[in-house]
């Protein structure tokens, strides 16, 4: 692990962004800088960070190399942090993603202590469907890989941290970025209504859930701003899953995005 010597320390403690070279990760870094928040951007390659972030030298920004799968590297990068945001890993990595989640959570407990602030990326499927006790990932039709979000949620719940799990639908690049205060944001339950009045079977319930995906397709930059505006401890998203939907009447599509079926 090495630090970028061109960055200078800031009076406030930084938020640490893991997976900062990824598509959401770099938007998290940009959102922090827009809000005047010191940020330590972490990825396995400092050169890739420089290439993807494309940020001029900024006293609020530190670039750091570290692998989110390496427990001791995570302990080192979290030292002195005010909060940690994890966007490293991918649901499709299966057991490796679950193990990465455990590594990040345990390092955060060690360095931030009980009540330490951690944001973790999940997905829409781990939210509860309104007026039911079902999660999206309970339904046949939801890709099996999203079960990793269930496991990571269980790891978070078992921790002593002040955690929040961001659970958007598909994330997209978009120049049209709705203001955070116009979004529909919910905790634990999906932010869109699903008709369950006729007690639909799994297939019909999944079809109705899928119909609402365009309302929960969120720009990366918007999702990042939601996180960076809610870094405070004991805030409204304390130890909760957080769903996001576009303003009422708005929809978006992820080009080329298709949903497979569980085997």
Residue-wise pLDDT tens digits, 100-154: 999 999 999 999 999 999 999 999 999 999 999 999 999 988 889 999 999 999 9
pLDDT at 255: 58
pLDDT of amino acid 175: 81
What CA–CA distance (Å, rounded) separates 85 from 40? 10
Helix, strand, coil share of the chain (percent; to 5): 35, 20, 45
Give domain 15-245's CATH superfamily. Answer: NAD(P)-binding Rossmann-like Domain (3.40.50.720)
Read off the pLDDT of each residue in 220-240 and give the average, rounded to a whole number. 97
Angle between helical axes of 46-53 and 23-34 (0-180°, round to 10): 70
């Amino acid at each position: 692990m090495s630090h970028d010597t061109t960055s200078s320390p800031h009076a406030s403690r930084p938020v640490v962004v893991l997976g900062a070279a990824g598509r959401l990760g770099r938007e998290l870094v940009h959102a922090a800088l827009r809000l005047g928040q010191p940020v330590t951007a972490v990825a396995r390659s400092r050169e890739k960070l420089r290439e993807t972030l494309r940020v001029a030298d900024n006293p609020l920004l530190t670039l750091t190399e570290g692998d989110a799968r390496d427990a001791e590297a995570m302990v080192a990068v979290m030292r002195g942090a005010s909060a940690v945001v994890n966007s490293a890993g991918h649901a499709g990595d299966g057991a490796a993603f679950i193990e990465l989640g455990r590594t990040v959570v345990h390092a955060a407990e060690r360095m931030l202590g009980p009540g330490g602030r951690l944001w973790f990326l999940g997905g829409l499927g781990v939210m509860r469907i309104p007026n039911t006790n079902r999660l999206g990932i309970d339904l046949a039709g939801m890709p099996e890989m999203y079960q990793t979000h269930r496991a990571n949620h269980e790891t978070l719940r078992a921790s002593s941290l002040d955690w929040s799990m961001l659970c958007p639908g598909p994330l997209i690049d978009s120049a049209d970025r709705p203001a955070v205060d116009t979004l529909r944001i919910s905790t634990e339950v999906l932010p869109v209504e699903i008709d369950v009045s006729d007690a639909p079977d799994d297939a019909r319930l999944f079809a109705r859930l899928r119909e609402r995906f365009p309302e929960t397709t969120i720009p990366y930059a918007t999702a990042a701003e939601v996180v960076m505006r809610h870094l405070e401890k004991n805030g409204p998203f304390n130890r909760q899953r957080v769903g996001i939907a576009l303003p009422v009447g708005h929809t978006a599509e992820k080009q080329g995005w298709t949903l497979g079926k569980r085997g």
